[in-house]
Amino acid sequence: MDGGARGNPGPAAVAAVATDREGGVMGERHAYIGEATNNVAEYRAVLFGLELARELGAASVEVVNDSELVARQIEGRYKVKNAGLKPLYLETMKALRGFGDWSVRSVRRERNERADELVNEALDQAG
Q: What is the CATH number of the domain that holds 75?
A: 3.30.420.10
Which residues are CB-contacts of 79 (< 8 A; sequence separation ≥ 6)? 73
- For 66, the domain range is 2-126
**How far, in Å, CA of 98 to CA of 45, rounded?**
17
The structural domain count of the chain equals: 1
C-alpha separations of 5 from 30, 43, 48, 55, 108 in Å: 13, 12, 16, 26, 17
What tens digit of pLDDT does each residue of 3-44 get? Answer: 999 999 999 999 999 999 899 999 999 999 999 999 999 999
Q: pTM here?
A: 0.94
Q: Indicate the pairing of strand 10-19 with strand 60-65.
A: unpaired
Cα-to-chain-centroid distance, residue 55: 16
